[in-house]
Amino acid sequence: MSDDAAPWLIVGLGNPGPEYAGNRHNIGFMVADLLAERIGGRFKAHKARAQVVEGRMGPPGPANRRVVLAKPMTYMNLSGGPVTALRDFYKVPLERIVAVHDELDIDYPTLRLKLGGGDNGHNGLKSMTKSMGPDYHRVRCGIGRPPGRMQVADFVLKDFSSTERKELDWFVDRAADSVESLIAEGLERAQSAYNS
């Protein structure tokens, strides 16, 4: 199978279970859910300990791409296992893997796209990088830093505040747009359109 025929693997990072659904740490799941809705798919359990949707994304023609959307069903710090298993199952080259995740060092609601880099203390990225190396795409959804002396772990596992929720749908929508742009037009064009 040529690389060109290989699908893109878009991984929304989060924690499984209803108690985590609205957490800042789960914005990756929110973006994956919206993308699934856009391509008209429903998540189904996969043997790789993940939920997946297969479909196509992008405009008709050569920019229309095969995609696999995934939500690992392990906890965040074990995301690398399911992602690696999906990569092997679908034969996805590393540069066609996109992790969508929350990012503390970027203000809410700001997006940054990049290829490769460190994990910045993010347990999901740390696990993926340990399993596969760092050279995958990231769609970094800024959530800002915890207020006052709040611990980072407490902050990321809290739901978005009522003020933040006013912009959350717009933010998730924009993050989903940026993923579509990355896949159809490449990193540089997506960065110039969405990196703020």
User: Which residues are catalytically annotated?
Assistant: 25
Rounded (5°) CA angle 73-35-81 = 25
In single-letter form, the type of residue at position 123 comes to N
- Amino acid at the residue 65: R
Looking at this protein, which amino acid is placed at residue 86?
L
The whole-angstrom separation of Cα 30 and Cα 146 is: 21
Half-sphere exposure of 37 (CA within 13 A, CB side): 10
Q: Is 159 left (phi over 0), alpha (psi -120 to 50) or beta?
A: beta
